[in-house]
């Protein structure tokens, strides 16, 4: 049984949490609909605020956990929203023990993500990707575009390569500032990530992450110069790929580059 009380109070947005509360019901419903109905029984919503998205998530068959770091939001949700498939949890997603929470079960994650930690949220999802087949939600538009960006763009970078190594990424739609309270200074974007059927890279993943991050941390340099710290042999460094800059390489080429470095002998 679901129950929604009339809003008897309002949560004040807190700048240090990066809060901008979505107030458009249609957009909230569209975000809820980005997730499929199959392949998992649980959904974790990050930053539910006053529950505009939560309201549509609990209409689904899955169990919902609404996680918020803000005590005021938690109190509001506990007072105004109840459902048999809803659990309201206070906590910081970045510090949360996901293994303890998720166990071995598959989960989806969604939310209107705080701008100030949205990239960190993605990196944590990647860390626990074996338990997270789907991930969707609202980001600052610039970050959303970067996650889904293709090679050759100036905004294609670490976040693009590491995310697309394991997930298929779709940029779904843009959201304007006026549908938030308070309105942010920039546009937002909603994306959906679906984990690839075969998300094993076939290479040392720690080395892969290190190669990608090192290359883009010196993105103006060719790979021959930016990856010197890996002790690449003179013979391998003469390969054509090392004349490229990181934004020119696809995910598959980064995987192949990682394998070449792993197999390299001086």
SS3 label, residue 93 = helix
Of 195, 219, 238, the domain-final residue: 195
Strands 81-82 and 3-4: antiparallel
Q: Does residue 135 share a domain with residue 243? A: no
How many contiguous H segments (helices) and E segments (strands) does the chain have?
A: 11, 11
Q: Does residue 109 share a domain with residue 53? A: yes
Residue 159: partners with Cβ closer than 8 Å, 6 or more residues away: 119, 122, 143, 146, 147
Per-block mean pLDDT, blocks of 10 residues, the chain (266 long): 56 82 96 88 95 96 95 95 95 93 90 94 96 96 97 96 98 97 95 95 96 96 95 92 96 96 79
Q: Does residue 68 share a domain with residue 28? A: yes
Of 140, 164, 195, the domain-final residue: 195
Q: Does residue 173 share a domain with residue 126? A: yes
Domain membership of residue 200 (yes or no) is no
Domain membership of residue 84 (yes or no) is yes
Q: Does residue 231 share a domain with residue 179? A: no
Of 195, 229, 252, the domain-final residue: 195
Q: Does residue 39 share a domain with residue 103? A: yes
For residue 8, the model assigns a pLDDT of: 53
For residue 102, the model assigns a pLDDT of: 83
Q: Does residue 164 share a domain with residue 251? A: no
Name the residue range of residue 233's domain. Answer: 205-263
Tell me, what CATH number does 247's domain have?
Answer: 1.10.8.100
For residue 139, the model assigns a pLDDT of: 97
Q: What is the pTM of this model?
A: 0.91
Q: Which two tokens stand for residue 223?
A: 């790979």
List residues bridging with 189 in a β-sheet: 139, 174
Domain membership of residue 216 (yes or no) is yes
b/e 44-76 (16+ beta carbons within 10 angstroms → b): bbbbbbbbbbbbbbbeeebbbbbbbbbebbbeb
Taking CA atoms, 8 is separated from 12, 56, 81, in Å, by 13, 20, 12
* Nearest-angstrom CA–CA distance, 127 and 129: 6
For the chain, the domain total comes to 2
Q: Does residue 242 share a domain with residue 112? A: no
Domain membership of residue 92 (yes or no) is yes
Taking CA atoms, 237 is separated from 20, 216, 226, 257, in Å, by 48, 18, 11, 11
Domain membership of residue 129 (yes or no) is yes
Tell me, what CATH number does 51's domain have?
Answer: 3.40.50.150
For residue 265, the model assigns a pLDDT of: 57
For residue 266, the model assigns a pLDDT of: 46
Q: Does residue 183 share a domain with residue 224? A: no
Domain membership of residue 210 (yes or no) is yes
For residue 144, the model assigns a pLDDT of: 98
Q: Does residue 173 share a domain with residue 52? A: yes
Q: Does residue 247 share a domain with residue 162? A: no
Q: Does residue 185 share a domain with residue 128? A: yes
């Amino acid at each position: 049984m679901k129950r929604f009380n009339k809003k008897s109070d309002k949560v004040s947005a807190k700048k240090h949490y990066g809060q901008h509360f979505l107030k458009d019901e249609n957009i909230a419903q569209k975000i809820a609909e980005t997730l499929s109905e199959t392949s998992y029984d649980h959904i974790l919503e990050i930053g539910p605020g006053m529950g505009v998205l939560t309201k549509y998530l609990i209409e689904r068959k899955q169990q919902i956990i609404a996680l918020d770091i803000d005590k005021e939001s938690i109190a509001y949700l506990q007072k105004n929203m109840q459902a048999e498939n809803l659990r309201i949890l206070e906590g910081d997603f970045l510090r949360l023990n996901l293994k303890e929470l998720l166990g071995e079960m598959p989960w989806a994650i969604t939310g209107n993500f705080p701008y100030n930690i949205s990239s960190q949220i993605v990196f944590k999802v990647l860390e626990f990707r074996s338990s997270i087949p789907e991930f969707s939600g609202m980001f600052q538009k610039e970050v959303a575009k970067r996650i889904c960006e293709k090679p050759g763009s100036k905004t294609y970078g670490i976040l693009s390569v590491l995310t697309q190594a394991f997930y298929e990424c779709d940029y779904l739609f843009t959201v304007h500032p006026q549908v938030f309270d308070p309105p942010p200074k920039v546009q937002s974007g909603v994306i959906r990530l679906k984990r690839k059927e075969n998300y094993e890279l076939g290479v040392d993943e720690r080395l892969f992450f290190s190669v990608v991050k090192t290359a883009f941390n010196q993105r103006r340099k060719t790979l021959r110069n930016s990856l010197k710290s890996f002790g690449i042999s003179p013979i391998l460094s003469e390969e054509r790929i090392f004349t490229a800059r990181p934004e020119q390489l696809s995910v598959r080429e980064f995987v192949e580059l990682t394998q070449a470095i792993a197999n390299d002998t001086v």
